[in-house]
Chain A
Amino acid sequence: MTELQYVRASRISEALTLLNEVGVKNRILAGNTDLALLLRADPALCERVVDVSLIPELHRITRADNRVIIGAAATFTEVLSNPIIIETAPVLVQACAQVGAVQIRNMGTLGGNVANAAACADSLPALVCLDAEARVHSLQEEQVWPVADVVVRPNHTLIPPGSLLVSLSYPVPPPGCRSVFLKLGRRNAMAISRLTVAVLGWLNSSGRIAEVRIVPGAATPQIRRIQSAEELMLDQLPGTELYAAAARRVADEMIQLTGRRWSTEFKEPALLAMTQRALMQVFEIAPLSSEEGR
């Protein structure tokens, strides 16, 4: 087996140079929580790892021009404990807080979670719910894609080889916005998501729904907002029947996208229940469950 090479980049430009060096098969190393498993299964996966995790710019979380910008190498712990994120995006805090356990959250990165694009990746529904964008740098150019478009299907993204995901950003929602991320796993920590749902929304001055965004996770091949369900709710008064109808649309959309699979018999009622519950938590004060999502 050939010796694996390790090189650490201290700047984005340096990383890009290394990643585009001819004749070397590179992989980006950020948190290593996914890459380590890939290397364990296939030691010949790459010849060199380019460690971008300590590039200062990739850890910064800032707020500018009413957008929040998160460096792609920010760890789950850094994201969930950051005051800007706590204030503007509870859905993302809750998603990050339910990834794995403390050890994984201390190494795993938001960018890595997006770029690895696992079907059950927890950050994706939250980011899509926030209408987040991904900024990707290559040697030639900088590109920006909606996160919803970046993930083409499980484990496949639009990010071209030789380029680097540099940041995730989202527009700051208005005051009065509430958001929630619910996760269903087979146990309460270190659990692969069986189903997740991210919901965000706010009311207008007449108490009607001005905006609602619903994104199920671990349910569909692509992570997207379910617009047919959202449209049903706009300008309506919040209420149990409305949540049920919207949740029904979400479940139908899931089945439309995936077809009836072996897991549909479970996911359909569970997604219905979780979506209703998330809508209730966003638009009302008292949550349905006795304990909110951990």
Chain B
Amino acid sequence: MKIEFTLNGSLAIVEAPARISLLTLLREYLDLTGTKEGCGIGECGACTVLLDDRPVNSCLILAPQVGGRRVTTIEGVRGPDGGPNDLQRAFIDYGAVQCGFCIPGMVLSGEALLAANPRPNRKEIRTAIAGNLCRCTGYQQIVDAIQATALRRREKP
């Protein structure tokens, strides 16, 4: 069936079976491989995208569900020059990246948090990323990166 939705700010029209997940739609039909599959059952958050600005597990979303709605993937998170934005730079600077597999999901969860809550404390940050499993970093530097970005955005809106 035809699925028409807004993807990273632009209109996307894809012909795909109704049965597939949004994750498969992104990776196989649109060749956007930044969103990852870690478990297939919505437990790990590696497949996190934003649906109407809210973090969701794309492996648990049927592709046609996004018709007429807004989807943001990691490919849509960029600075004004097309490079990394301030949150992505913070991830690099604070050592939050190791193997990188959880990172697209973490960045999107972080962005969604900061959009809804510009002054999160560390507990709130941990709650916001609790659905994103990471096996490498122990989470601490990821929390540092999100917290530092929140501070920076408050200082220079």
Q: Which DSSP category, helix, strand, loop or mixed, fits chain A's interface?
A: mixed
In the complex, identify which listed stretch (B14-22, B79-87, B89-97, B146-154) lies at the interface while the others stay far away: B14-22
A8 B67 Cβ-Cβ under 8 A: yes
Neighbour of B18 across the interface among A4, A77, A100, CB < 8 A: A4
**Interface flags, A29-64, vs B, CB<8A=1, else 0:** 100110011011001000001010100000000000
A101 B131 Cβ-Cβ under 8 A: yes
Asked whether any CB of chain A lies closer than 8 Å to the CB of B104, the reply is no
- For window 97-140 of B, CB contacts with A under 8 Å fall at 109, 112, 127-128, 130-133
Q: B1: which A residues are within 8 A, CB to CB?
A: 6
Q: Which residue of A lies closest to B113 (CB)?
A: A102
Residues on A lying within 8 angstroms of B by beta carbon are 1, 3-6, 8, 29, 32-33, 36-37, 39-40, 43, 49, 51, 53, 77, 100-104, 106-107, 188-190, 294
21 A-B pairs (CB sep. < 8 Å): A4-B18, A6-B62, A6-B64, A32-B61, A33-B57, A36-B59, A37-B42, A39-B19, A53-B65, A101-B132, A102-B130, A103-B42, A103-B45, A103-B109, A103-B131, A104-B57, A104-B131, A106-B54, A106-B56, A107-B60, A189-B130
Neighbour of A37 across the interface among B41, B61, B130, CB < 8 A: B41
Q: Could you tell me the distance between the alpha carbons of A213 and B132 in the complex, rounded to whole angstroms? A: 36
Given contacts A102-B131, A103-B48, A107-B57, contact A36 B21 (CB under 8 A): yes
Given contacts A101-B45, A104-B42, A189-B131, 7 further A-B contacts (CB under 8 A): A6-B64, A8-B64, A29-B62, A36-B60, A51-B65, A100-B131, A102-B55
A32 B65 Cβ-Cβ under 8 A: yes
Neighbour of B127 across the interface among A29, A43, A77, A102, CB < 8 A: A102
Q: Could you tell me the distance between the alpha carbons of A181 and B64 in the complex, rounded to whole angstroms? A: 36
Highest count of chain A CB atoms <10 Å: which of B67, B131, B133: B131
B51 A106 Cβ-Cβ under 8 A: yes
**Least CB distance, B46 to chain A, in whole angstroms:** 11
B42 A36 Cβ-Cβ under 8 A: yes
Q: A32: which B residues are within 8 A, CB to CB?
A: 60-62, 65
Highest count of chain B CB atoms <10 Å: which of A32, A33, A77, A294: A32
Given contacts A32-B60, A36-B59, contact A101 B18 (CB under 8 A): no
